[in-house]
């Protein structure tokens, strides 16, 4: 979260205030959404699988004076009166530490890669070091979970995969690929209601004023194109404020009535 705020603050020379605030909002939404999702998945799997931890015996403190000792026993053999500690011993897979750490670190690593344009083929080792350092931290945590006898290797691998997949998926929902150098690590603009259904997914986004060009422009259906379409259904020359949400809804209603299921081929290469 500190990194997201810092990147927005240091980009004031190239980003408008609205763009800066929008990127902060989307960055925090990506991080918190990814964390909440991986936590839900991890907790559900822990309770469904119920696999024992490596330190289950030390948590259980089995009573060695039972009358009929057996290799197969239930939790009734445990003398530890703190049942929360005992039950936690059966929630080994997947590792919650690893799913959380890898999720947060992969979002951080991708965010750094996008902001610093790590893949610009200029060979700056310092940027690469900053981008991979979160992954190194996550790998260190994974080693400690095994060395501290809290998880098996399978738990570490499972938690890591969950964190990596959820973190990457959430980042790509809100940000272009880190290989998209033109965009400079900026988030996609906010979605416009319903427009993309009629234009082969070209557009469907509100415009955010920005001093830099970027790939998000290709996803913004500019006002000139929409105005020319509106004029087919309205009196020529009549102006429609397409940056206004109620007018946007009015436009979609007109398109729904006149176009039905048809789709228009519209390209958007000009910034307006």
Least trusted range by pLDDT, from 73-87, 175-189, 213-227? 213-227
Cα separation values, 183 from 8, 150, 179, 213, Å: 15, 42, 9, 7
The residue extents of the domains of the chain are: 2-50+93-183, 195-259
| The pLDDT value given to residue 156 | 95
Least trusted range by pLDDT, from 62-66, 117-121, 203-207, 215-219? 215-219
Catalytic residue selected from 97, 145, 207, 220: 97
* 97 is known as an active-site residue: yes
Tell me the per-residue pLDDT of 205-224, one tens digit each, with 9 for 90 and over: 777 777 666 656 656 655 56
Least trusted range by pLDDT, from 122-136, 158-172, 195-209? 195-209
- The predicted model scores a pTM of 0.77
Catalytic residue selected from 46, 53, 59, 151: 151
Q: For residues 183 and 181, give the distance between their C-alpha atoms in angstroms, rounded to a whole number.
A: 5
* 151 is known as an active-site residue: yes
Residue 58 and residue 86 in contact, taking contact as beta carbons nearer than 8 Å: no
Nearest 5 degrees, angle CA 51-CA 54-CA 60? 85
Q: For residues 83 and 92, give the distance between their C-alpha atoms in angstroms, rounded to a whole number.
A: 16
């Amino acid at each position: 979260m500190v990194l997201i705020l810092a990147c927005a603050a240091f980009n004031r020379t190239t980003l408008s205030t609205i763009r800066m605030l929008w990127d902060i909002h989307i960055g925090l939404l990506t991080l918190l959404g990814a964390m909440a999702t991986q936590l839900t998945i991890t907790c559900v799997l822990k309770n469904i699988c119920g696999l024992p931890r490596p330190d289950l015996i030390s948590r259980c403190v089995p009573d060695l004076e039972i009358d009929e000792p057996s290799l197969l026993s239930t939790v009734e053999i445990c003398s530890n009166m703190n049942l929360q500690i005992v039950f936690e011993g059966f929630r080994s897979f997947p590792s919650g530490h690893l799913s959380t750490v890898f999720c947060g670190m992969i979002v951080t690593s991708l965010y750094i890669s996008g902001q610093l344009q790590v893949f610009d083929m200029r060979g700056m080792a310092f940027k690469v070091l900053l981008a991979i350092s979160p992954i190194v931290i996550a790998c260190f945590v994974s080693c400690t979970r095994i060395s501290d006898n809290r998880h098996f290797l399978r738990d570490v691998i499972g938690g890591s995969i969950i964190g990596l997949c959820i973190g990457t998926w959430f980042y790509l929902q809100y940000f272009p690929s880190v290989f998209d150098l033109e965009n400079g690590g900026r988030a996609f603009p906010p979605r416009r209601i319903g427009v993309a259904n009629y234009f082969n997914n070209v557009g469907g986004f509100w415009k955010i004023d920005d001093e830099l060009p970027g790939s998000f422009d290709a996803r913004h259906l500019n006002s000139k194109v929409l105005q020319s379409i509106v004029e087919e259904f309205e009196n020529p020359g009549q102006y429609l404020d397409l940056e206004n949400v109620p007018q946007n809804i009015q436009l979609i209603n007109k398109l729904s009535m006149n176009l039905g299921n048809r789709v228009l081929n519209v390209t958007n290469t000009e910034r307006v």
